[in-house]
Amino acid sequence: MYATKYSSIFRLNQAINHIRRSFFNQTYINGQWVSAQSGETFKVYNPANGDEIGSVPDCNIKDAEKAVQAAYNAFQNKWSTKTGKERSVIMRKFNDLILKNKDHLGKILTTEMGKPLKESIGEILYGASYIEWFAEEAKRIHGDVLPITSHNRRALVLRQPVGVCSFITPWNFPSSMILRKAGPALAAGCTIVVKPSEDTPYSCLVLCDLAKEAGFPDGTINVLTTTHSAEIGKFLCEHPLISKMSFTGSTEVGKKIMAQCASTVKKISLELGGNAPFLVFNSADVKQAVQGAMASKFRASGQTCVCANRFLVQEGIYDEFISELTKKTKEQIVGDGFNEKTHLGPIVNKEQYERVLDFISDAKDKGARIVTGGNEKKGKTSGFFVEPAVIADVKLSMRVAQEEIFGPVVAIIKFKTEDEAVKIANSVDVGLAAYMYSQDISQIWRVAERMQTGMVGVNEGIISSVEAPFGGIKQSGFGREGSKYGIEDYVNLKYICMGGLKDVDQSSQ
């Protein structure tokens, strides 16, 4: 079933005009809307129908240098010199503006990324929660006075902003990934240079307009829209004026960024590949497990780093789980995100679309059972749609059991024992999130503690929350976003030793 075809350009301009005028053919550097110095641009397309949305500047190294210098000057002279309370006031206004414009921001996001409008608005609210949270934390970046043994010394520890921070963000959450990084950086007193995905630049640019209205000083936030991702990324990693790099994306690219940052010994945060296991034990409430599976797997059409990837189901409930999940999967409506009945939008681009279809073909060729779905969905649109698939009897040799799928494909593996499930779950070299369903409290503790991941959802398919630290271990990266721990990646500890202090002169008393 498909949504009615809309005009991408009309929808986007209608959303933008509710916020500001049509300046989105430019990028945002040093508080100004500017074109690339080369004059070059690139086009952005709607993945739901292939319509051209518009074009934005194709920035190069010269533009990147301008953005870095603007961010450095703003850090030195404007933003870091403000008190935590002053930064908090501006961030709160930014949060209020995002919430006020959430519907229009959601329309922009759906137009360029494709996810259902309800999901897009949910992403806007989720991203804004990090601005609100860290606006409060800006006033609580405490130092310490340390107890020491010497009578004539005192020891102090200050927390100070690291400096200019660079963000490289993905297309699957083009608004919230930026806001989740910007929250702690801005609260700490850092300035930022953002390189959004070339597939979804508009969600980033529209946030800049609201940030300017909120009162951020010129140069505090800068954006580089570009198709020269590798070149610009390397430049930012190696630039001596950038003190911190935060990247969300593939493990392969994350390794390159880590190596490039070594030249200037930058502070780094990496949120990389997932390949999350989803364990369902015999003791589980099957309907609850299916509900969690649907929420985790099919959000953003399976294009999330924490979505369930490998479904490990114990043999006692294997057939029941597949039956219930298949029933729910067949109810999912695929189509344009602007249709309120749509559950799953398109795959973001042709490359990823073909990759998902290859996963399904590989599984089928190697003997897996396609229970439902997995077909291309052309219909009334020319977008990149894939019918959500349930694949049973998956073997560990298949690609769907080894690689992160990033699409609406449920790959189900049967297991016999708890130890076998844990061994399979931990067999990959990444460790972002894991999920498990069980009603056995002893088993819950045992398995949750043995999972080699940074996050574990127990009887819960959606685990992201501003109050909790988000991040992984192993080759899923390091660093944490959100929670009371999130500010630590954006501050340096400075120890101050004050010596030569005199004791009370006892002879004068």
Q: Where are the beta strands (DSSP E) in 301-354?
A: 308-314
Compute how many other C-beta atoms are within 10 angstroms of the C-beta atom of residue 489: 22
The SS3 of residue 110 is: helix
Question: What element of type H or E holds 214?
Answer: helix 202-214
Write down the residue that tokens 């560990």 correspond to: 396
d(CA 30, CA 194): 12
d(CA 477, CA 461): 22
Distances in Å between the Cα of 285 and the Cα atoms of 65, 276, 280, 320, 460 are: 56, 20, 9, 11, 12
Compute how many other C-beta atoms are within 10 angstroms of the C-beta atom of residue 408: 29
Q: Which long-range contacts (CB under 8 A, 24 or more apart) does 133-136 make?
A: 133/183, 133/466, 133/467, 133/482, 134/91, 134/183, 134/184, 134/186, 134/187, 134/486, 134/487, 135/87, 135/88, 135/91, 135/92, 135/94, 135/95, 135/183, 135/187, 136/88
Gap between the terminal Cα atoms of the chain: 92
Ramachandran class of 301: left when φ > 0, alpha when ψ lies in -120 to 50, beta otherwise: left
Extract the tokens encoding 94: 């930014």
Length of the chain: 509
- Interhelix angle 441-450/418-425, nearest 10 degrees: 30
Exposed / middle / buried, residue 328 (Cβ in 10 Å: 0-12, 13-18, 19+): middle
d(CA 88, CA 146): 28
d(CA 279, CA 425): 8
271 is annotated as an active-site residue: yes
Extract the tokens encoding 405: 């799928």
Helices and strands, counts by H and E, the chain: 15, 24
The catalytically annotated residue of 112, 137, 198, 271 is 271
Residues whose CB is less than 8 angstroms from the CB of residue 86 and which lie 6 or more positions away in sequence, other chains included: none
CB 438 within 8 A of CB 450: no
Strands 32-34 and 27-29: antiparallel
CA angle 333, 335, 340 (to 5 degrees): 75
Extract the tokens encoding 293: 């599976």
Mind telling me the catalytic residues? Answer: 271
